[in-house]
Amino acid sequence: DAKTTQPNSMESNEEEPVHLPCNHSTISGTDYIHWYRQLPSQGPEYVIHGLTSNVNNRMASLAIAEDRKSSTLILHRATLRDAAVYYCILREDSGGSNYKLTFGKGTLLTVNP
């Protein structure tokens, strides 16, 4: 299984940008990079995903390295509500239509007021 490596924790100040890194050196050509986050005492929620090109949505931006061995989730202006565990996940298409996600421990983001 293709794996990801993330820092255990990061800190940011409110209203500052946050760059959350993820290494996935064994990524295969068909693996999509997904990011989910889990707010305290809640289930995970989808943030963003991409394959090769950088992606933007209302929540965040995803910057993908040219060799696809790493990616960075960018929160442009962190708020206290962004404090959560952020998971970088490679979506494995294991044949047929089995879209399984394998969650690691993620990065615990603390946002300081």
Q: Minimal distance in Å, beta carbon 63 to another protein? A: 18
Report if residue 53 touches another protein, rule: CB under 8 A. no
Report if residue 68 touches another protein, rule: CB under 8 A. no
CB atoms within 10 A of CB 91: 17
CA dist., res. 84 & res. 42, Å (int): 10
With contacts defined by CB under 8 A, how many residues of the chain interact with another protein? 23
Report if residue 58 touches another protein, rule: CB under 8 A. no
CA dist., res. 100 & res. 89, Å (int): 10
CA dist., res. 73 & res. 60, Å (int): 7
β-strands 99-100, 18-23: how paired?
Answer: unpaired
The contact pattern for another protein, residues 6-45, with x = CB under 8 A and - = no contact, is --------------------------x---x----xxxxx
Query: Site residues (CB under 8 A) for another protein?
Result: 32, 36, 41-46, 49, 51, 87, 91, 96-106
